[in-house]
Amino acid sequence: MNKIIIHGGFPLEGIINIDGSKNSVVALIPASILSKSVVRIYNYPKISDVGVLIDILKELNVNTKINETYLEIDSTNINNTPLITAKMGSLRASYYFMGALLGLFKEAVLRLPGGCYLGPRPIDLHLQGFAGLDCRYEIDDELIHLQAEKLIGREIHFPFPSVGATINTMLAAVLAEGKTIIYNAAKEPEIVDVANFLNQMGATIKGAGTSTIEIIGVKMLHGTEYQVIPDRIEAGTYLILGAMLGNPLEINKVNPHHLKALLSTLTNCGVRYDINDDKIIVHKTDKLLPTNIITQVYPGFPTDLQQIITTLLTQCNGVSTITETIYSDRFQNCHELIKMGANIEIDNKQAIIKGKTHLKGTEVVAKDLRGGASLVLAGLIAEGTTIIDEPQHILRGYSNIMKKLQKVKANIHMST
Ligand code: EPU
């Protein structure tokens, strides 16, 4: 198995271009089948999750064409094949085939999703959304069976604004009969992106980005060409890196509006950055200040950046805390950071980080995607050599990470 090898402690300088959003594109790919036509997705990230979703499309007899610039998906001859292979369980986003296949065929059989272990990740709210549209479901073993005579638009009240359940309900509702209203919908930029994509294919969705989304069912959708929004978590990851090592780093092709919670946290830590349209230039900050972070749904501080900013907090002078409110077990990376010399205590939902600590390179394990990214950052600031095992988790969500870091003079490579 390959490992990432990093020789750390050197300043980084240059431009990092941000690719399209992982959590958006992993929904757009399944959503594209609702068109039963040809869809082109531009600015897609070069990540392994995209490769897995393309393989799943092949099982449905959907043709794809991929090049540097776009991903083309032709679902004209789609079959409703049961999706039961292990690939379905290798990522979270395979659950978007539930909503898309249900919307298109009114029935589907699928293997349950997998993804990073961050504590239990039930799909009860997705099922609540489907049931709200008159779909019946049964789960036996690892398979879910979804079936509806016809899908009927209704009012759905979510007890929690789940990203996945909101998107899945939209996917199932766009071809339903009548009006669906989702109350307490998630408001993340990826929800807006998926709604814009579906609307461009002929759907009628209003209110995405607010807590009430209204969908009026249409008879059919059509093909389109679409540009994915920038990945705010990838951008945030490199901004945090720039705050520790930027000489300076320019993070390019970002949407700063999607990064407000992170930017205000960086300001609290004393980080200097300049925003210029879709670029943010960030400088290494010598005296980083401690801060307290609580993860929240958008527009709050994103849980997906929590593990990554932990690395920065090890470099702040004083005691910082992170309170994780979205997932019950998202501190696994802290044990690896401790091996590198970090001073972190975990107390139930809170991590208490005492800094500043001098990190030293050692062998660590990427147990999940964002935790793995936090270790890459730690390796880049640490003295000596860091070896990261199980880098496949990182490659699931960071487009061309090795090349992008090498381009800004990081001493990082993949062992063969
Ligand atoms: N939840 C339930 N029941 C459900 C759905 C969610 O209890 O039916 C709980 C989850 O267990 C979790 C919380 O609600 O504790 C939030 O889950 P949500 O549904 O909002 O998240 P998700 O759809 O599973 C997406 C991203 C995650 C990101 C979250 C929150 C994708 C493929 N994944 O997950 O991304 O953390 O939204 O923003 O879009 C990542 O990129 O590293 C990642 C984990």
Spans of all domains in the chain: 3-19+230-415, 22-227
What's the average model confidence in pLDDT over 283-296? 97
Q: Residue 121: what pLDDT?
A: 87
Could you give the dihedral angle defined by the CA atoms of residues 11, 13, 15 and 18, in that order, rounded to the nearest 10 degrees?
Answer: 0
Measuring from atom 2 of ligand 1, which residue has the nearest CA? 122
Q: Is the CB of 55 under 6 A from ligand 1?
A: no
Catalytic residue among 116, 135, 316, 334: 116
What pLDDT sits at residue 116?
Answer: 81
Confidence of residue 118 (pLDDT cuts 50, 70, 90): confident
Q: Compute the distance from residue 92 Cα to the ligand 1 centre, in Å.
A: 9
Q: With a 6 A CB cut-off, is 369 part of the ligand 1 pocket?
A: yes
- The 10s digit of each residue's pLDDT in 125-149 is 999 999 999 999 999 888 999 999 9
Q: Would the CB of 375 count as within 6 Å of ligand 1?
A: no
Q: Is 102 in the pocket of ligand 1 (CB under 6 A)?
A: no
Atom of ligand 1 nearest to the CA of 26: 32
Quote the pLDDT of residue 149: 96
**Top mutation candidate among 47, 166, 304, 331 for ligand 1, by most atoms within 8 Å of CB:** 304
What average pLDDT is seen over the chain?
97
Q: Whose CA is nearest to atom 14 of ligand 1?
A: 162
pLDDT number for residue 288: 98
25 lines ligand 1 (CB under 6 A): no
Q: For residue 46, what pLDDT is reported?
A: 96
Atom 22, ligand 1: residue with shortest CA distance: 164
What's the 95 CA to ligand 1 centre distance in angstroms?
Answer: 11
pLDDT value of residue 376: 98
Q: How far is the CA of 112 from the centre of ligand 1 (A)?
A: 15
Report, as an integer, the average pLDDT of 49-71: 97
Find the mean pLDDT for residues 149-163: 97
Quick check: CB of 326 below 6 Å from ligand 1? yes
Report in angstroms the alpha-carbon separations of 183 from 36, 154, 414.
29, 11, 46
What's the confidence (pLDDT) of residue 142? 86
Beta carbon of 232 within 6 Å of any ligand 1 atom:
no
The response to whether residue 130 sits with its C-beta less than 6 Å from ligand 1 reads: no
In the chain, what percentage of residues exceed pLDDT 90? 95
Does the structure show a pLDDT above 90 at 157?
A: yes
Q: Does residue 162 line the site of ligand 1, with CB under 6 A?
A: yes
35 band by pLDDT with thresholds 50, 70 and 90 = very high
What's the 304 CA to ligand 1 centre distance in angstroms? Answer: 10
CA 150 to ligand 1 centroid distance, Å: 28
Residue 296 scores a pLDDT above 90: yes
Report which protein residue has its CA nearest ligand 1's atom 10: 121
| Cβ of 124 below 6 Å from ligand 1 | yes
Spacing, Cα 184 to ligand 1 middle (Å): 15
Residue 277: what pLDDT? Answer: 96
- CB of 169 within 6 A of ligand 1: the answer is no
Query: Per CATH, which fold does 3-19+230-415 belong to?
Result: UDP-n-acetylglucosamine1-carboxyvinyl-transferase; Chain (3.65.10)
Nearest CA to ligand 1 atom 37: 163
CATH of 22-227, one of 3.50.50.60, 3.90.650.10, 3.90.420.10, 3.65.10.10: 3.65.10.10
* 302-340 per-position pLDDT tens digit: 999 999 999 999 999 999 999 999 999 999 999 999 999
Predicted confidence at residue 1, as pLDDT, reads: 75
- Residue 91 CA: nearest ligand 1 atom is 32
Q: Of all protein residues, whose CA lies closest to atom 29 belonging to ligand 1? A: 163
Asked if 116 is an active-site residue, the reply is yes
